[in-house]
């Protein structure tokens, strides 16, 4: 049974460490990260290039595992899960949006968004309903038979978001989701994240852009593999940049 404080935090990270082995050299990237996210919160992560933001996001997204430390996701210690349990958590609880979109180039918009549902074993008719609803949510229903190469950058990002939300995850992790977009399209994408957040999703976004942080409730600064400081923002409605 989960305690009240435990379930209030969807992410509870303590003393998280991660290093990479380059030849015989050990490169320490995360050097004891302590980090919490409340359920329903909207958090931005900032920090210099190479400070470990993407490494942290990969761990939060269960795409990689830490050397040591604890990561409790939605009340469950991630290190206790088997590979297949981890795959299920990734598929059902987390929606991941990357800067480079990572859409499958030879598949259509529809097929790209459908993929997580196929992994989840959802039957055809329910899949179709969910895919169309997700594409409608990001206003991409008019482009379902296009391939990613036939879309603009903003459209590709909206498809990537549709794919991230199609399974109705509780947690949305986005690593520089607006890094390749102009101001107008960045705002469109941020509006989508804000809307998802207002509907109860927890959103964690890595960004280099101080404008983007105005959308968040809290900004966490990573420097040299640790959390340097945090800033709580008074933010009761939409980002000031909108």
Ligand X SMILES: Nc1ncnc2c1ncn2[C@@H]1O[C@H](COP(=O)(O)OP(=O)(O)OP(=O)(O)O)[C@@H](O)[C@H]1O
| 203 contact choice in Mg ion, ligand X, none (CB below 5 to 8 Å, kind-dependent) | none
If one asks whether residue 54 binds Mg ion (CB under 5 A), the answer comes out as yes
Q: What is 28-49 written as a DSSP string? A: EEEEEEEEEEETT-EEEEE--T
Q: What is 117-146 written as a DSSP string? A: HHHTT--HHHHHHHHHHHHHHTT-GGGTT-
Q: Which of 35, 42, 52, 95 binds ligand X (CB under 6 A)?
A: 52
Q: Which of 9, 12, 41, 47 binds ligand X (CB under 6 A)?
A: 47
Contact 222, 56 (CB under 8 A): yes
If one asks whether residue 27 binds ligand X (CB under 6 A), the answer comes out as yes
- Is the Cα dihedral 54, 98, 92, 44 positive or negative? positive
If one asks whether residue 53 binds ligand X (CB under 6 A), the answer comes out as yes
| 49 contact choice in Mg ion, ligand X, none (CB below 5 to 8 Å, kind-dependent) | ligand X
Find the shortest distance in angstroms from Cβ 55 to Mg ion.
8
Q: With CB under 6 A as the contact rule, which of the stretches 53-61, 116-124, 155-163, 210-218 interacts with ligand X? A: 53-61
Residues 131-190 that bind Mg ion (CB under 5 A): none
- Is the Cα dihedral 19, 116, 146, 131 positive or negative? negative
If one asks whether residue 49 binds ligand X (CB under 6 A), the answer comes out as yes
User: What phi and psi values does residue 241 have, to the nearest 5 degrees?
Assistant: -75, -5
Q: Which of 6, 7, 50, 79 binds ligand X (CB under 6 A)?
A: 50
| 242 contact choice in ligand X, Mg ion, none (CB below 5 to 8 Å, kind-dependent) | none
Cα separation, 115 vs 8, whole angstroms:
31
Cα separation, 27 vs 21, whole angstroms:
6
If one asks whether residue 70 binds ligand X (CB under 6 A), the answer comes out as no
Find the shortest distance in angstroms from Cβ 92 to Mg ion.
25
Contact 33, 16 (CB under 8 A): yes
If one asks whether residue 51 binds ligand X (CB under 6 A), the answer comes out as yes
Residue among 37, 31, 76 at smallest CA distance from 205 = 37
Find the shortest distance in angstroms from Cβ 239 to ligand X.
21
Question: Of 138 and 216, which has the nearer Cβ to ligand X?
Answer: 216
- Is the Cα dihedral 133, 136, 138, 143 positive or negative? positive
Neighbouring CB atoms inside 10 A of 184's CB total 9
Size of the site for ligand X (CB under 6 A): 12
Q: With CB under 6 A as the contact rule, which of the stretches 6-14, 42-50, 74-82, 187-195 interacts with ligand X? A: 42-50
Interface residues with ligand X (CB under 6 A) are 20, 22, 27, 29, 47, 49-55
């Amino acid at each position: 049974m989960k305690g009240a404080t435990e379930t209030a935090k969807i992410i509870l990270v303590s003393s998280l460490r991660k290093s990479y082995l380059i030849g015989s050299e050990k490169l320490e990237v995360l050097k004891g990260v302590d980090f919490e996210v409340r359920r329903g919160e909207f958090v931005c992560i900032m920090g210099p290039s190479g400070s470990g933001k993407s490494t942290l996001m990969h761990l939060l997204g269960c795409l990689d595992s830490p050397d040591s430390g604890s990561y409790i996701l939605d009340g469950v210690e991630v290190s206790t899960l088997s590979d297949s349990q981890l795959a299920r958590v990734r598929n059902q609880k987390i929606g991941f949006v990357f800067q480079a979109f990572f859409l499958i180039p030879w598949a259509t918009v529809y097929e790209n968004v459908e993929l997580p549902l196929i992994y989840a074993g959802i039957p055809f008719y329910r899949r179709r309903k969910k895919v169309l609803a997700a594409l409608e949510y990001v206003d991409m229903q008019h482009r379902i038979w296009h391939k990613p190469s036939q879309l603009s950058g903003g459209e590709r990002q909206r498809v990537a978001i549709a794919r991230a939300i199609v399974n109705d995850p509780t947690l949305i992790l986005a690593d520089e989701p607006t890094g390749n977009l102009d101001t107008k399209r960045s705002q469109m994408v941020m509006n989508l994240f804000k809307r998802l957040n207002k509907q109860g999703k927890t959103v964690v976004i890595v960004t280099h852009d101080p404008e983007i942080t105005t959308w968040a409730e809290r900004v966490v600064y990573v420097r040299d593999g640790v959390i340097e400081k945090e800033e709580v923002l008074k933010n009761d409605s939409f980002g000031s940049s909108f």
